[in-house]
Chains A and B, each alone.
Chain A
Amino acid sequence: MLRLENITKNFGKAGVSGANLHLSPGEIVAVLGASGSGKTTLLNLVAGLLEPDAGRIFLGNEDVTHQAPEKRGLAYVFQDHALWPHLSALEHLLLVMKTPDRALAHHLLGRVGLGGLDARKPHQLSGGQKQRVALARALAARPRLLLLDEPYSALDPVLREELRLEVASLLRAEHVSALHVTHDPDEALAVADRVAVMDGGRIVQVDTPAQVYAQPQTLAAARAFGRLNLLSVEVQGGQVRLNGLAWAVQGVESGPGLLAFRYEDLAPAPEGLPAKVLAVYGGRGERLCRVNLGVGEAVVKLEAGLGEQVRLAPRGRLRVFPGRPSD
């Protein structure tokens, strides 16, 4: 459906460098990355709003690298909706349809939960309703590919979670391919078949969300999903020694590095590393403790009380990335 070959765009800090990506028909790929990592630039390159300095963009078998946006057959759901203030919800859909079909437009508005609000103009709609109009407009255009740029970031948490699940199932039902830019790992986990993690303009890993979460290939990919502890360590023979205990690690065979582990990667174990609970947080349906491991502090998913002494050991082999904490 979409193929990016070595796309490069010098665009200040948020440029794109040698990006390669492939989307299959009906697939939803989330582009995840920190602010300034180049993800919106990548989306605008695909949309044709920017032209790459190098590389090629294919939609199907067609090279659209230098094609005008209006000829690419895409649809775009913007963070700020970008609705036309003088048009009603229904008129938004009719305007982008190749052959205006009122019945289909009514049907699509109903599908996104806007039945009966066809005549409302943007200023008469709530934030969530506006985003639903934007989505219905995108579907009405019958796009080859749907682009979504942080579409739910302006919504409240409840509406955000509700809408992203609805939209993802709607896109799958309509068999629409989508490139979905977000900085929210929960959103990527919820909606995407695959995740492309961007860092410094480069796509550093493309895989299923679960795989990127569990097996990040770079520190940036590990950071993209959050819930991450980093400890400065020295690796020797594939092991790190912490207060006399040896933990087998992967990623670095020997030398300095950053031991990266998620909140749930350590568990209580009788022979584990001694740790003291410094603070207890109420997480989302879980209990998180800040603990002093003797070699540094970390946040761990743990059932323990404040000040309690515990022993912790990794559930599996932890990963070490080359670098220092400031990286």
Chain B
Amino acid sequence: MLPRQPLTSLFWLLLSLGVALPLWVLAWRGLGDLAILPRVLDLAGVSLLLALVGSLLCLGVGGGLAWLAFRARLHPGWDALLLPAYLVPPFVGALGFLYALQLVNVQPYGVGGILLAWTAHYAPVAYLLLRPALESKLAPLLVASEVHGVTGWKRVRALVPPLFPALVASFGALYLTLLGNFGVPAVLGLPAQVYTLPTLAYARLFSPASPDPLGEAAAIGLLLGLLAVPALLLGSQPTGEPSPRLLRPRLGLAAKAAFVLFALIAVVFPLVGLVRRALFNTFTGAFQPAFGAAWELPLVRQGLLNSLLLALLATGLLLLLGLLLAPQRGALKRLRQVLDMHYLLPGTLLAIGLILLLAPTPVYATPWIVLLAYLLNFAALMLRSIEAGLESGIERLVGVGKLFGLRHGWAWWKIGFPLLGPYLAAGVFLVLPLCLAELTLSAMLYAPGSETLGVAVLSALNGGLFREAAAIGLMLMALSLVLLLVPRRGVVG
């Protein structure tokens, strides 16, 4: 019999390989269809450039807002002006910009529209990643600079280098997200024949003209993976202690004005577009809500039902997994690390991998394959949330209970799980809305009868049902904004 340690290592190795199986299959199949790559290299370049420029824009806008908020010592309540833009699903935001820009006679399709929608949606992510770094790293250095009269270029030299790790990590996270984003390029790119690798993979997968749709999609997925991998090496966002509030507030008015301006552009503007299109007749301008017409569409009803069921089931199963693993922090952490690949890498890779893996099985073309994709994609988020709870000292307090004679299970029941409650709730409110408004995975994995709400919006758009799409988008936006009211716990993404 093998000793325990090697057996455990073997178990984790096999599990890691198993979880990564969709990616292995994708790589294997993609390598067999490399002939397509020369024809898509220019598109890969576009995808790469878009992701790089988009990341820089998000970093610039989000970082600028973070700097202003930091200098002005803005109350965290002001974050409420930025968060709605992030909480609204990206493809809904893109839909909003599409209609809003059309209102002012600006052509929204293409690179400009994509970059605008991305910046509006993901700049708050940069803000959320950089503000804690500014508080923990910069505040003491800035106080020291002010006290010792370090100004101008010397101050820049003293303050900027310590921020490099946070900037690089934030850039990596944004780049990975934008590279894999499907919804925005699908809404604002596809109609103008502007492709990114995820939308190209989608287009090839459903192309009737392609001799080998799966192989081509796999090759494109492989290319997407290769472009994503370097960003995985950029490291994770460093966290730190909040700073002492010794800094004198400066630029208060500018900071508040910037926050309001961002909210107007990133939230109100697309909202006006959606409202205008969903509630008023496009031609007569009369008040004529399109919700009824949208509800009449079988695809919408089916999509809503499927999305609700899939989201509830995925969230419930992940919650159960989290609860089971919470008392074994080491196992939870290792599993989260294994599952991180599906959360961090573009969802397109997972979707194509699952198609390749499960096409010969009865699971294919059923809602179950979508459920499996959701579980693999969002598990890391739920487990991270629970991990954050465990790292906050809950495990020690359970240990104290055991020291006082409480049995393992009883100690977790009476102490551990109640204390984990807010973190579990945070996990639920992270995963549930993401599943509800998910598009990348479901657009590739759906089959007739297993469409999701996101697919319904995309189908409505493709079918020219713009008002109905706007109505569903508006509902999704409202649902997302409700989440603003839910208290959140800090889970670093």
Max count, chain B CB within 10 A of own CB: residue among A68, A74, A75, A82: A82
In contact, A95 and B401 (Cβ under 8 angstroms): yes
Name the residue of chain A whose CB is nearest to the CB of B419.
A86
Q: How large is the interface on B (under 10, 10 to 19, 20 to 34, 35 or more residues)?
A: 10 to 19
Cβ contact of A84, chosen from B405, B407, B415, cutoff 8 A: B415
How long is the Cα–Cα vector from A96 to B410 in the complex, in angstroms? 11
Q: Is A141 an interface residue (CB 8 A)?
A: yes
Contact with B along A1-35 (1 / 0, CB 8 A): 00000000000000000000000000000000000
* B399 sits at the interface (CB 8 A): yes
Within 8 A of B (CB), among A62-109: 68-71, 73-76, 78, 82, 84-87, 95-96, 98
- In Å, the complex CA distance between A48 and B399 comes to 11
Q: How far is the CB of B423 from chain A (nearest CB, A)?
A: 13
Q: Are A75 and B401 in contact (CB under 8 A)?
A: no
B406 pairs with A70, CB closer than 8 A: yes
Does B418 contact A86, Cβ atoms closer than 8 Å?
yes
Kindly state the separation between the CA atoms of A220 and B208 in the bound complex, as whole angstroms: 85
Q: How far is the CB of B455 from chain A (nearest CB, A)?
A: 42
With the chains together, A95 CA to B419 CA distance in Å?
Answer: 15
Q: Please name all residues of chain B whose beta carbon is closer than 8 Å to the beta carbon of A301 when the two chains form the complex.
A: none
Can you name the residue of chain B whose Cβ is closest to the Cβ of A75? B404
Given the interface pairs A69-B399, A78-B400, the reply to whether A141 lies near B405 with Cβ below 8 Å is yes
Contacting pair A96 B406 (CB below 8 A): yes
B396 contacts the other chain (Cβ, under 8 Å)?
Answer: yes
Contacts of B489 in A (CB 8 A): none
Check: A269 CB closer than 8 A to any chain B CB.
Answer: no
Distance between B38 CB and nearest chain A CB, rounded to angstroms: 58
A95 touches B403 (CB 8 A): no
A-B contact count (CB 8 A): 52
**B399, A49: Cβ atoms closer than 8 Å:** yes
Size category, A interface? 20 to 34
Contact of A69 among B402, B414, B418, B419 (CB under 8 A): B402
Cβ of A137 within 8 Å of any chain B Cβ, yes or no, is yes
Q: B408 to chain A: which residues have CB within 8 Å?
A: 70
Known: A70-B402, A70-B407, A75-B404. A82 touches B396 (CB 8 A): yes
CB-CB nearest in chain A for B418: A86
Q: Are A76 and B406 in contact (CB under 8 A)?
A: no
Q: Which of B384-442 contact A (CB under 8 A)?
A: 396-397, 399-408, 411, 414-415, 418-419
Q: A219 to B404, alpha carbons, bound, how many Å?
A: 37
Task: Say how far A35's CB is from chain B's closest CB, in angstroms.
Answer: 21
Q: What A residues does B415 contact at CB under 8 A?
A: 84, 86-87, 95
Q: Is A47 an interface residue (CB 8 A)?
A: yes
Considering the complex, give the chain B residue whose CB is closest to the CB of A69. B403
Interface of A is mostly: loop
In the assembled complex, the CB of B401 is this many whole angstroms from the nearest CB of chain A, namely 7
Question: In the bound complex, how far is the Cα of B419 from the Cα of A137, in angstroms?
Answer: 19
* Contact, CB under 8 Å: A95 / B406: yes
Task: Report the bound CA distance from A87 to B401 in whole Å.
Answer: 12
Given that A95-B406, A98-B405 are known contacts, is A82 also in contact with B419, CB under 8 Å in the complex? no
Q: Give the chain B neighbours of A69 by CB distance below 8 A.
A: 399, 402-403
Cβ A73 vs Cβ B405 within 8 A = yes
- Please give the distance in Å from A310's CB to the nearest CB on chain B: 46
Q: How far is the CA of A73 from the CA of B406 in the complex (A)?
A: 10
- How many whole Å from B151's CB to the nearest CB in chain A? 40
Once the chains are docked, how many angstroms separate the CA of A204 from the CA of B226?
62
Q: How many angstroms between the C-alpha atoms of A95 and B402 in the bound complex?
A: 11
Query: Which of B399, B407, B419 touches A85 (beta carbons < 8 Å)?
Result: B419
- With A84-B400, A95-B415, A98-B405 known, 7 other A-B pairs at CB within 8 A are A48-B403, A69-B399, A70-B402, A70-B408, A87-B415, A95-B404, A95-B414
Q: Give B contacts to A, CB under 8 Å.
A: 396-397, 399-408, 411, 414-415, 418-419
23 A-B residue contacts at CB 8 Å? A47-B403, A48-B403, A68-B402, A69-B399, A69-B402, A70-B403, A70-B406, A73-B405, A74-B403, A75-B404, A76-B403, A76-B404, A78-B400, A82-B396, A85-B397, A86-B418, A87-B415, A95-B404, A95-B415, A96-B401, A96-B404, A96-B406, A98-B405
User: 3 tightest A-B contacts by CB?
Assistant: A96-B404, A70-B402, A69-B403
Residues of A participating in the B interface, judged by any CB pair closer than 8 Å: 47-49, 68-71, 73-76, 78, 82, 84-87, 95-96, 98, 137, 141
